[in-house]
A and B are shown apart, each in its own frame.
Chain A
Amino acid sequence: MNWLADFFGDPSHWSGPDGIPVRLLEHLEFSAAAFLVAALIAVPLGLFIGHTGRGALVVVVAANAARALPTLGLLVLVVLLAGVGTVLPVLIPLIVLAIPPILVNTYQGVRGVDADLRDAAYGMGLRGRQVLVRTLIPVALPLILLGLRLAAIQVVSTATIAAFVGLGGLGRFIIDGLATKTYADVIGGAVLVAVLALAVQFAFVLLDRVAVSPGVRQSR
């Protein structure tokens, strides 16, 4: 606990370009960028595959394989190949990491919608895209949100490692602390990231409450 007091009690940690507010903002900035790009790719693709059933096997196999990819290795390789010092290469492994959970859960959410429900929607005269937007997406929403939540947490966690290749963010406290054996910084940074990850988790629980239709929630 002494370490925590050392870290959070030090006024120099609260201002300047390497203070907690700036680092937190950096962390949120590139996490959000990677997450948004991944969601923009994976949600439409997952909806398409779930709705049409095309390419499902490829997606499931590829997503499983992607889980095995060591992020640290990918990060180091991409940054070395692309050149050190820019943000863009660091985003690539984060995006690669975030796509599988969103894709698989979106696909499974749409696929798992009760066939009777789907037929009923067609029976009421809805067309293909209307069925997707008005029936399949609302019913699949809990799973889609689960995928987005898992991806967001992974991105926020892994963005910590990005400090190793020279990027800012909260990981700086951990990586620099390890390098200089300043354990107060390591623990302080770790606690900050943990709180951020829990906040993301909590935000998605709230989003779930607001966005999922009461009828769908009841049937769960």
Chain B
Amino acid sequence: MTKAYYTGLTGLLSLLLSTGVCADESYARLSIHTHVLASSCAACHGTNGNSVGGTPVLAGLNAEHFIRQMQAFKSGDRPSTVMHRHAKGLTQQEIVELADHFSRQQRHTAELPARAISDRP
């Protein structure tokens, strides 16, 4: 396999439309690679970067700002507890594509799940 990224909105969308499943529009816009990688950030930053609090909201973040911060984490210019580990593990292209991805996400108030009704006696 020589091609690492599935880019090209038009080609991908036409493929999707020709089948039964019509993938989410944003899914088609960026490469699958970036889409899945971005979703891995959700554990700390919420779905599509909409954090419930404590960590920065990445949704709608200016792309250049995102890239600058990630480079600062990578170089150590911005001190961090854990982000330098993640920044160092990513390629420059991944950082640029993540910046693009998160900058296009809609900001909204993230939800927490309701507490379950206890069955403890």
* A, B assembled together: no
Give the A-binding residues of B (Cβ under 8 A): none
